[in-house]
A and B are shown apart, each in its own frame.
Chain A
Amino acid sequence: MSEQVGTITWISGPVVRARGSRHVGMLELVEVGTERLVGEVIGLKGDQMTVQVYEETAGMQTGAPIFGTGLPLSVELGPGLIQSIYDGVQRPLPLIEEAVGSFINRGARFDSISREKKWKFTPKVKVGDEVKGGAVLGAVMETDTFEHRIMLNPDDSGTISWIAASGEYTVTDVIAKVKMGREEKSVTMLQRWPVRRARPFVSRRGANIPLITGQRILDTFFPVAKGGAAGIPGPFGSGKTVTQHSIAKWADAEIIVYIGCGERGNEMTEVLQEFPHLVDPRTGRPLMERTVLIANTSNMPVAAREASIYTGITIAEYYRDMGYHVALMADSTSRWAEALREVSGRLEEMPAEEGYPAYLAGRLAEFYERAGYVNNLNGTQGSVSIVGAVSPPGGDFSEPVTQHTKRFIRCFWALDKSLASARHFPAINWLDSYSEYLEDVAFWWREKTGKDWLSMRNRAMELLSEESRLSQIVKLVGPDALPYTERMVLETTRLIREGILQQNATESVDAFSSVEKQIRMLELVLYFHERGMAIVRRGAPINLIHDLPVVDTIIRAKSTVTNEEMHKFDDIQKQIDQQMGQLDAEYRS
């Protein structure tokens, strides 16, 4: 390890060329210069190698050495990942702060996973057991409630010749020995896995369980399935990050991997300071105890930004392999694509659209294809769901990253600047968004709530698109020209927009809606519509319905009725009955 394999001949930003390509492999991790900065071989040509360096190269000289490691760029996997915060190449940021202060220095090296910490290991196999790759050899409690399953490396298989007794071990202590043919391999709790290689599984399962986020516009209107992929494109200021944070907080996944990729430092700090104080509604534990953070902010080295996405997805797959549901947020994939573009530009590759390299679409596909609900090697089932934010320049969705992303996702949450300007949050445009998981998850909704969610959801969407058509007319001639039945549609859609679609992430009651609350709210609004429609058909003027006190009650229900007080919705329904009943009686005669 660490022998000199080359000599630097050219430096431009994060890209370095060196002579001496014979002793390194493609995508091998190398150490660059006397400061031994982390880099990766991204090109070999004749005796020349091209390296992208994951740290700032200012001050580096030609003639400086490059050292090989013989390994591809890999992440360390094992107990201790949860609650960690890493940079794009999995260096632990808190340790860097402890060692070098508030600013990130070059060349700081730390183990990604603590070598000192002891974990209470409980074996799950015995001597003589045949084990295949991915087999669960034992378990440790990574947090008070989270069982971390220690698995055999997916590429190995054999017979257990020794297994450690229950007890406390560090991640580098041998906890099992596996006889593989003639040789015996010692197994520790620490695994390395190359980030650019997807971890294997047996087969994909149908994605038919929704990832519940507690966000009404997502769960009720545009659900993403566990193991699915969703994209959130939007111009700046439209709420991508707030939406990503909301999903990270409330999604019903067991592990959250949050990648801050080329985004703001303060945003990562917000997550760091907020998550330990927020309680996971399902386990009652702090949200941080299910979260792994990767923070490669916009001012950190650009090549590490490129790597951060792979570091994150590999960690997500590792937890999936244990049989868990993992949700991964990538904010923002556009910054990752820009990192690709920047490195590509330095390599003087022929650009395709807008300066992006021609392999942009391929890289995006590779990334999104690592999402999935799968049968694992060890017989468990787990999923990785990906929610990728996209930041199209100028909010123009026709740009390459948005367009290519659309090809590889099945759920599209289009953020809209004009909604954001009107402070309608989440500013997800219901007419531009889509989900291809509707049919897949309909059965789950029926089982869970006993209600016909899909028809209700479709009815509401029908009303919303009717509203869009009517508002064109209103813009031209004013609302008074519309017949009462059409104005009734506008009354109802106002309830849908303000009462259901708008959701305040900063308000405690409204921030998370249970599925029961979501569907009940939808049911009430549709009920209001049917009753109201019957009355206006009999000739009652629309302003009578507009002025009913229950209208305000319905709009405010999202923040006045908690998830536990479902009976209050029955009261609201009674109010509808009573107030509409009066009108009904008046105009029946």
Chain B
Amino acid sequence: MSEVTVQGGQEVLGVGRIEGPILVVEGGANVSYDEVVEIQDSRGQVRRGRVLEVGEGFAVIQAFAGSTGLSIDGTRVRFLGNTLHIPVADEMLGRIFDGLGNPIDGGPEPLTDRYMDVNGQPINPTARIYPRDYIQTGISTIDGVNTLLRGQKLPLFSGAGMPHDQLAAQIVRQATLGKIAGAPPTEGEEFAIVFAAMGVKNDVADYFRRSFTESGALTRVAMFLNLADDPPVERIVTPRAALTLAEYLAYELEKHVLVVLTDMTNYGEALRQISNVRGEVPSRKGYPGYLYSDLASMYERTGRIRTSKGSITQIPILTMPNDDITHPMPDLTGYITEGQIVLGRELNFAGIYPPVAVLPSLSRLMKDGIGKNRTRDDHPRWGAQLYAAYARTQDVRALASVIGEEELSDVDQKYLKFGRAFEREFVNQSFTENRSIERTLEIGWKLLSILPKKELTRVTLDEIAQYYKGDDASN
């Protein structure tokens, strides 16, 4: 984490080869791997890039803003002697930056002498604190059955045309420090928000900006925008710049930081494009073999460490191409992140918001953030029971579509009723509805009470005695 040496650095006139955003420069000596360069075209305009590969007397450079307008002879490349660093400061909250961290809101450069390497450094596993404090998002499908904890990375897997932006905005707006069910409401600790847009449309960025403004959060948000018409190569840096600021806020200023990254699919495409131009051996669907490690180098920049009270919680958004969850981007993301919230198209068609497909969604850390002394004692078993019952509903629906609803047994009929109510009352809630954890648990028990007691094998008999509200009088 040293400062950038902006002055000095050797300069080379002329490049050997230009191919897409990749330049091969000949003649530099002592070039460092991953070093930042300044590329000046024949008209004197400067753009930045970085070194991807160095050999004796040559260096392969990736120009962030692409190579448009560069010529073989008229291009000057200046090696800056350091890896890419960005300034970090508390006052960057409330500001808007481009994908490389330069202000684009008309304001001045952030006033700071702290510069940090955008690549960060891996957190030592022994220095981490395991996440245990839940975040109340006010959304039943998250708080109830896919609980988000501070220091967790939980992506939204969505598809084109689904309301993932609304859901992310709602999470950001409503997120507060979770408390035990029934505890009096306290002033929630407010999250600092770092928002990174990669290749999204201008109106998406605009939507988030408006949403932050309306909820009064704008002063707590730092936005890094690489929009659809910005250079794709810059996208490689955008999430890293955002996470670098997040790390500074969380681990040095001890804030709780919520990072929203959208859309990671566009990031993956930019990475594939560069890999392709470089002629690397592709693995699945043309993505480079190091896609997993590359994604991990960002997603793993989440969590809590022992030397700070702060935390970084990540909510990356991915639109799955063709809604395919086995596509390399959602697939590798799912292997790295601690669960996933999957949006379902059928629910969306049915007019249910948020259309969270409960069965494929998962929060891996949930088990450690809920239950006695955290939410409520019955929460873990209650959640498992809801899941199991809803899973059974799917089987019953499949059966009903073949033999007709009338032919179903009484118990199966009740499952159908449960399934409908679950989607309409538990999953469905309005964009402005902020449900407490008690309310979420209460709705869940009300739905479980549709089923006969005998079907509820995941919860204890005591819990049934305490919370079951149905008309099944057996014991």
Contact = CB atoms under 8 A, between A and B. Distances in A.
Interface of A: 9-13, 56-63, 85, 93-94, 96-97, 101-105, 235-237, 260, 262, 264-266, 268-270, 272-273, 295, 297-300, 302, 335, 338-339, 341-342, 344-345, 348, 351, 354-355, 391, 393-396, 417, 420-424, 474-480, 498, 506, 547, 552, 555-556
A62 B31 contact: yes
B430 interface: no
B46 interface: no
Contacts of A105: 121
A301 B287 CA distance: 20
Q: Which of A11, A273, A555, A556 has the most chain B CB atoms closer than 10 A to its own CB?
A: A11
Contacts of A262: 292-293, 296
Given A104-B121, A299-B297, A395-B326, A266 B128 contact: yes
Contacts of A93: 124-126
B289 A10 contact: no
10 contacts: A97-B124, A103-B124, A270-B130, A273-B130, A298-B300, A335-B292, A342-B289, A345-B280, A355-B289, A480-B407
B326 A475 contact: no
A394 B320 CA distance: 13
B265 to A, nearest CB: 16
B130 A266 contact: yes
Interface in B293-331: 293, 296-297, 299-301, 303, 305-307, 325-328, 331
- Count class of interface residues, chain B: 35 or more
A104 B300 CA distance: 13
Contacts of B387: 421-423
B334 interface: yes
B133 to A, nearest CB: 13
B399 interface: yes
Nearest to A556: B457
Nearest to A494: B457
B35 A338 contact: no
Q: Which of A265, A355, A391, A478 has the most chain B CB atoms closer than 10 A to its own CB?
A: A265
Contact of A298 (B33, B130, B336, B408): B336
Given A60-B33, A478-B407, 14 more contacts: A56-B121, A60-B32, A62-B30, A260-B125, A266-B128, A269-B125, A272-B125, A298-B292, A298-B299, A299-B122, A391-B335, A423-B458, A474-B399, A506-B367
Contacts of A339: 293
Nearest 5 CB-CB pairings of A with B: A394-B326, A298-B296, A422-B391, A58-B34, A299-B300
B129 to A, nearest CB: 7
A143 to B, nearest CB: 20
A273 B304 CA distance: 14
B457 A345 contact: no
A547 B303 CA distance: 49
Contacts of A270: 130, 368
Contacts of B288: 345
B56 interface: yes
Given A341-B283, A345-B289, A475-B398, A393 B125 contact: no
Contact of B29 (A57, A63, A94, A391): A63
Nearest to B404: A478
Contact of A265 (B300, B335, B399): B300
B52 A12 contact: yes
B331 A393 contact: yes
Q: Which of B128, B129, B335 has the most chain A CB atoms closer than 10 A to its own CB?
A: B335
B87 interface: no
B110 interface: no
B32 A10 contact: no
Given A341-B289, A342-B290, A506-B380, A299 B301 contact: yes
A59 B32 contact: yes
B55 interface: yes
A237 B326 CA distance: 13
A273 B129 CA distance: 9
A350 B305 CA distance: 42
Contacts of B307: 101-102
Contacts of A423: 384, 387-388, 391, 458
Contacts of B124: 93, 96-97, 102-104
A85 B303 CA distance: 19
Contacts of A268: 125, 128
A206 B288 CA distance: 43
Nearest to A241: B364
Contacts of A237: 334, 339-340, 360, 362, 364
B83 interface: yes
A63 to B, nearest CB: 6
Contacts of B121: 56, 103-105
Given A61-B32, A299-B122, A299-B297, A351 B281 contact: yes
Contacts of A10: 53-56
A345 B326 contact: no
A57 B33 contact: yes
A61 B326 contact: no
B473 interface: no
B149 to A, nearest CB: 10
A428 to B, nearest CB: 17
B33 A552 contact: no
A393 to B, nearest CB: 5
Nearest to B152: A266
B415 interface: no
Interface string B96-140: 000000000000000000000001111111111111000000000
B92 to A, nearest CB: 21
Interface in B1-47: 29-35
Contacts of A345: 280-281, 288-290
A354 B359 contact: no
Given A266-B338, A345-B290, A552-B454, A94 B126 contact: yes
Given A59-B34, A104-B121, A394-B331, A355 B293 contact: no
Given A93-B124, A97-B126, A475 B457 contact: no
Contacts of A102: 123-124, 127, 251, 305-307
B335 to A, nearest CB: 5
A103 B236 CA distance: 22
B282 interface: yes
A465 to B, nearest CB: 19
B409 interface: yes
Nearest to B55: A10
Contacts of B367: 506
A85 B125 contact: yes
Contacts of B299: 298
B151 interface: yes
Interface string B191-218: 0000000000000000000000000000
Given A265-B125, A297-B122, A478-B403, A338 B289 contact: yes
Contacts of A11: 33, 53-55
A478 B384 CA distance: 26
Interface in B356-373: 359-360, 362, 364-365, 367-368
Contacts of A421: 359-360, 387, 391
A165 to B, nearest CB: 37
A348 B279 CA distance: 10
Contact of B126 (A60, A63, A85, A302): A85
Q: Which of A58, A355, A479 has the most chain B CB atoms closer than 10 A to its own CB?
A: A58
A103 B122 contact: yes
B332 interface: yes
Interface in B250-295: 251, 280-284, 288-290, 292-293
B350 interface: no
A13 B275 CA distance: 13
